[in-house]
Amino acid sequence: MTNDRATGTVDHLVESIVALNPGADREWLITFDAYDLNRYLQHLESALEPRAESTPWERIGDTPAIVSRTAA
């Protein structure tokens, strides 16, 4: 990742995300900060790589491994 991408503006990050995920809603994406958008972009980019033992997706420690929801 280049320095430009690490500190990219929200607009730049949103455009990069939409290029990889055309179904993503720009209006919804801009509600997130640059840190979260950058993490999502990294996840999308890692999904493009072939899966192998040497290229696993590593979950960042600030997110839970399991998330659940209770129906209202």
Residue 44: DSSP 8-state: H
How far is it, in rounded angstroms, from Cα 28 to Cα 31? Answer: 6
Task: Output DSSP code: residue 12.
Answer: H
pLDDT digits 0-9 by tens, 9-33: 899 999 999 999 999 999 999 999 9
At residue 2, the pLDDT reads: 40
* Residue 47 main-chain phi, psi, to 5 deg: -70, -20
Q: Which residue has the higher pLDDT, 8 or 29?
A: 29
Annotated domain spans of the chain:
1-72
Contact 38, 17 (CB under 8 A): no
Cβ 16 vs Cβ 41: under 8 Å = yes
Q: What is the mean pLDDT of the chain?
A: 80
The pTM of the whole model exceeds 0.85 = no
Judge whether 49 and 69 are in contact, CB under 8 Å.
no
**Res. 7: pLDDT tops 80:** no
6 or 54, greater pLDDT = 54
